[in-house]
Structure 1
Amino acid sequence: MHVDKRIIFLGIILLCLGLAQDCRHAMVRYPQAPPEACRVYPTSKECKRALDLRSAQAEQGGEIHKIQHTYYFFGLYPGNLVVDTSKYCADGPKSVHQYTTFWNGFWEQLTLAIYSPQTVEIECYK
């Protein structure tokens, strides 16, 4: 009878860990600034060429940077963490995605949400 309680307890813990993963997501997508040729004459041939070149490069995707953010007390402290995307992306960010990985959730559950890490993924324009 004593072994059954341990198995049930372990099952509940594993279920909580499994259900708590990948629950929190926040994503922002940024539009790309127009090419220099389009700023002066948006209907010019140079603008069309620059836009065609950009669309061909966009299919390849840009560089992706992963950053770990540390929060405490259920994610309440520190309130706001500001990321300077110009350090990572010279041509500007394409998207910023903040989420909880399996290991982030594991450590959060293990510390009873005193330590709440988050992963930030920044994708750059090419």
Structure 2
Amino acid sequence: MRADKILPILSIILLSFGFGESCRHAMVRYPQSLPEACRIYPTSRECKRALDIRSAQAEQGGEIHKVQHTYYLFGLYPGNLVLDTSKYCAEGPRSVHQYTSFWNGLWEQLTLAIYSPQTVEIECYK
């Protein structure tokens, strides 16, 4: 085959791998801990008031932090990365979402999966 025919076929194959890579997602949602007023007397007025305030704040959503994780050799090294969410969220995390963005997938394809970055989004409670 000639080079002018191989190049378009090769670019289509690489693009299809690149678009297929951005499908990796993992998401965890965490329940919010009880307010201090509800721990001792769960049926008190203070507990009801604290739960009402918390439900009003929950609709607004919290701050979102993006963290880059770096993996190597098809994501095999390092095996487990521990993320301390208390550094980002004082009230605890609402959700943690790890995914491969378009740029992460592009870098992974360009390095033939030797370098495999992942993006982690941490949403906090207010």
TM-score over 0.5 for the pair? yes
Q: Secondary structure at the match of 1:76?
A: coil
Report the Cα distance in structure 2 between the residues aligned to 1:20 and 1:86, rounded to whole angstroms.
Answer: 30
Number of matched pairs: 125
Superposed CA RMSD in Å reads 1.0
Give the aligned partner of residue 10 of structure 1: 11
Q: Identify unmatched segments of 5+ residues in structure 1.
A: none
Report the Cα distance in structure 2 between the residues aligned to 1:14 and 1:105, rounded to whole angstroms.
Answer: 10
Give the aligned partner of residue 88 of structure 1: 88
**Per-residue deviation, residues 26-85 of structure 1 (Å, max 9, x unmatched):** 111111110011001101111111000000000000000000000000111111111111
Q: Secondary structure at the match of 2:61?
A: coil
Q: Which amino acid aligns with 1:36?
A: E
Compute the displacement of 1:15 (Å).
Answer: 1.6
Give the aligned partner of residue 54 of structure 1: 54
TM-score, with normalisation over the residues of structure 1? Answer: 0.95
Give the aligned partner of residue 21 of structure 2: 20
Q: Which amino acid aligns with 2:116?
A: S
Q: Which amino acid aligns with 2:119?
A: T
Q: Identify unmatched segments of 5+ residues in structure 2.
A: none
Report the Cα distance in structure 1 between the residues aligned to 2:96 and 2:16, rounded to whole angstroms.
Answer: 30
Q: Which amino acid aligns with 2:45?
A: K
Give the aligned partner of residue 35 of structure 1: 35
1:119 paired to 2:114: no
Compute the displacement of 1:5 (Å).
Answer: 2.3
